[in-house]
Structure 1
Amino acid sequence: MKIRVFIATASLVASGGLVAFAGSAQAALYTVCVGDGGAVTVNGDLVVPAGESCTLTGTKVKGSVTVQAGADLVAADATFNGAVNVGQDGYLDLTDTAVKGALTTQAAFGAHLQNSSVKAGITATDGFVYAVDSTLGGTVRATTGELYVSGSSLSGALTGERNLYTDVYDSTVKGALTVSGNSLGGVLCASEVEGKAVYKNNSDTLQLGGDGLLGSCAGATYFGGDVAVTDNTATVVLDNAIVRGGLTATGNTPALRVGPLARVRGAITGETTAAASAARSAKAAPQDRGGDLAKKAAHRAEEARADAHEAGDSGL
């Protein structure tokens, strides 16, 4: 039986702040963060313990970052060289922060990225992913949650599967875009998709470019490849969009509606109907999804900051 002896690194110890531990039976160095941390370098991994809150400003973590169940991590101007993992009901809030590894959330409350980057992809199951003005590398995949991307650049594929919705505004997706099984459909607004776009088995409403049933959208949408809209029970409108490939529209109830500002360069397969000018037919949006997520994220972040401040300042 191995006995693990933990030795606190004195230079990082502070009440309620950052505490680094090195195990004699384990070579890795890791740091526990409870409270407020500043512009220091963490040479190993960083852990936010279950149910605790940590705020970081200007911090660099050379290892991985783990946000345990029910914990919160709010970081600004930080750099994480490794992967970031968020547990059940955990929350991650990043502003002006670079993640050089992958971001994984599992049944988390959510992840909010603002002016941040994730180099090696995002995998999220349950909870929300809310990315604004961010740079996302690798593959971004969100399942059974909420996915909202705005003003962002994605170098790989984007997949929203069995979410409430998958909404993409003013963004560039250099890989494929797949939206499937979303119960409230999705929006693609003033964006560019360079790979193939697939919308299948969605319900409620799909607004692909232009003004539409979910509200106003200024700016055209560009599809660099083929677009497949299949087997949806959603009301689907394609307008103010250029499709450089072909369009497949089969198995949709009702049929895909194509507006007067839509241009399809390739062949059209399946059933489509003409839609009136979206500007005349648009209904008021039932909710501002981005606004709702912003409020949800801001409330959790505010609570996390208060809890971290109460735990104490690391003095670093």
Structure 2
Amino acid sequence: MKIRTFIATASLVASGSLVAFSGSAQAALYTTCVGDGGAVTVTNDLVVPAGKSCTLTGTRVKGTVTVEAGADLVAAGATFNGAVNVEENAYLDLTDTTVKGTLTTDSAFGAHLEKSNLKQVDATQGFVYVVDSTLGGNVSTGAGELYVSGSTLSGSLTGDGNQYSDVYDTTVKGALTVNGNTLGGVFCASEVYGAAKYSGNADNLQLGGESLIGSCAGASYFGGNLAVTDNTANAVLDNAIVRGGLTATGNDPVLVVGELARIRGGVTGETAAAGSSSARSARGAAPLDRGVGLAEKADARAAAARADAHEAGTSRL
């Protein structure tokens, strides 16, 4: 890997890509990564330069990690003690990796997080694809694609203005908010312990059950109140327990409640029973599981990044 450490003058510190270190000179220090890197410790910030690719295996970074515009970072078995920032059209792929700071993406191509441990995710545009991971804080996404499977979130999960927000076989210990998604969302075989709200969504909303978007064999659990309001989506609630109350107002078509739905609190608003004329009219076209498309997109970008990094070469570090 072509990995270089820079001591920058004070004029370069203003760029924001450097971090100060202790010492009488009070200079700034960062490391660039282009190519393949192994099990070493980077004691300062790490930067993947714009348009370049970096792969890390077993690497530890004590400072901030920045993936600049159009760059790619693919890491396995790594530990990042600080924040990770992913810039415009950049890509982040993490497997068996720990991020102790906040992961922030801004107009990125996307982030694929698998079998990893993260603190908090704040994403704007691009996809966030989370598989078999543990997240210790809040996850907030906007104007992108959100797909979470087989994971545990200690905080809240928010999908605001996304194309879709899909949750499979996942536990959310905080609140769940899905607002203004143009292709709706799925909540399948999952649990949420805070309040859950689906508002202003279009296309399809599948909250448990076997219909609309895809098969969902497992039951779902809403530990607090569930609000499904002001949606133009075809919306179905089935094979789920709602511990609190259900609010279903302003939906067109009305929310369909299947025979396997159990609502412990009261119901406010209008619902339709499965099998009714309103329920039949709410049935829309059923697209494939959207995780398949995201996996293909992530795999293609990661493969290209690995090839570019390998071509750039390795380093003794």
Partner of 1:302: 303
- Assess if the C-alpha contact under 8 Å between 1:176 and 1:197 holds in 2: yes
Matches within 5 A, 1:145-160: 145-160=144-159
Q: 1:283: how far off?
A: 7.5
Structure 1 CA distance, aligned partners of 2:212 and 2:53? 40
State how far apart, in whole Å, the 1-side matches of 2:27 and 2:128 are.
34
Q: How does 1:140-219 map to 2 (within 5 A)?
A: 140-219=139-218
Residue in 2 aligned with 1:106?
Answer: 106
Per mean C-alpha deviation after superposition, the further-off stretch among 79-88 and 213-222 is 213-222
Q: Is the CA contact (8 Å cut-off) linking 2:71 and 2:91 kept in structure 1?
A: yes
Alpha-carbon distance between aligned partners in 2 of 1:165 and 1:109, rounded to the nearest angstrom: 16
Cα shift readout 1:69-98 (whole Å, capped 9, x = no counterpart): 000000000000000000000000000000
Q: Which residue is 2:123 aligned to?
A: 124
Quote how far apart the aligned CAs of 1:268 are. Answer: 0.2
Partner of 2:64: 64
> 1:155-193: CA deviations, max 9, x gaps?
000000110000000000000000000000000000000
Distance verdict in 2 for CA 1:183–1:193, change over 3 Å: same
2:22 counterpart of 1:23 = no
2:155 partner SS: coil
Instruction: Report the Cα offset of residue 17 of structure 1.
Output: 1.9
Q: Aligned with 2:305: secondary structure?
A: helix
2: CA distance, partners of 1:256 / 1:50 = 47
Give the Cα–Cα distance (whole angstroms) in 2 for the partners of residues 167 and 246 of structure 1: 22
Structure 1: any 5+ residue segments left out of the alignment? 1-15
For 1:251 and 1:24, how far apart are their aligned partners in 2?
59
The CA deviation at 1:23 is: 2.9
User: Aligned runs of 1:127-138 on 2, under 5 Å?
Assistant: 127-138=126-137
- Taking the aligned partners of 1:201 and 1:169, their CA distance within structure 2 comes to 21
For these two proteins, the number of residue pairs brought into alignment is 298
CA offset digits 1:173-218 (Å, max 9, x no partner): 0000000000000000000000000000000000001211011111
Report deviation, 1:287.
2.4
Q: Provide TM-score, normalisation by structure 2.
A: 0.91
Confirm whether residue 245 of structure 1 aligns to residue 244 of structure 2. yes
Superposition deviation, residue 24 in structure 1: 5.6
In the aligned structure 2, how far is the partner of 1:151 from the partner of 1:69?
Answer: 30
- 1:10 is matched with none
For residue 221 of structure 1, what is the aligned residue in structure 2?
220
**Could you tell me which amino acid in structure 2 is paired with residue 18 of structure 1?**
I
- Cα distance in 2 between the residues matched to 1:46 and 1:165: 32
Percent of aligned pairs sharing the same letter: 71
Report the equivalent of 2:315. Answer: 314
What TM-score comes out, normalization by structure 1 length?
Answer: 0.92
Tell me, what secondary structure is at the counterpart of 1:129?
A: strand
Q: Which residue of 2 aligns with 1:41?
A: 41
Cα distance in 1 for partners of 2:44, 2:27 equals 10
Quick one: distance in 1 between partners of 2:28 and 2:43? 10
Match of 1:258 in 2: 257
Distance 1:134 1:28 in 2: 34
Contact 2:39/2:58 (8 A) holds in 1: yes
Secondary structure in 2 matching 1:51:
coil
Read off the aligned partner of 2:83 and give its amino acid letter. Answer: A
Structure 2 residue runs of 5 or longer lacking an equivalent are 11-25
Report runs of 4+ in structure 1 exceeding 2 Å deviation.
22-29, 281-285
Residue equivalent to 1:7: none
Cα deviation per residue 1:42-68 (whole Å; 9 max; x = unaligned)?
Answer: 001000000000000000000010000
- CA drift of 1:315 comes to 3.0
Aligned amino acid, residue 68 of structure 2: Q
Question: Does residue 93 of structure 1 match 2:93?
Answer: yes
Q: Return the letter of the residue paired with 1:300.
A: R
Q: Which residue of 2 aligns with 1:11?
A: none
- Distance in 1 of aligned mates of 2:154 and 2:295: 24
CA contact (8 A) 1:17 1:314 kept: yes
The alpha carbon displacement at 1:22 in A equals 2.5
Supply the distance in 2 between the matched residues of 1:55 and 1:202 (Cα, whole angstroms). 38
What is the Cα-based RMSD across aligned positions, in Å? 1.6
- Give the superposition deviation at 1:255: 0.5
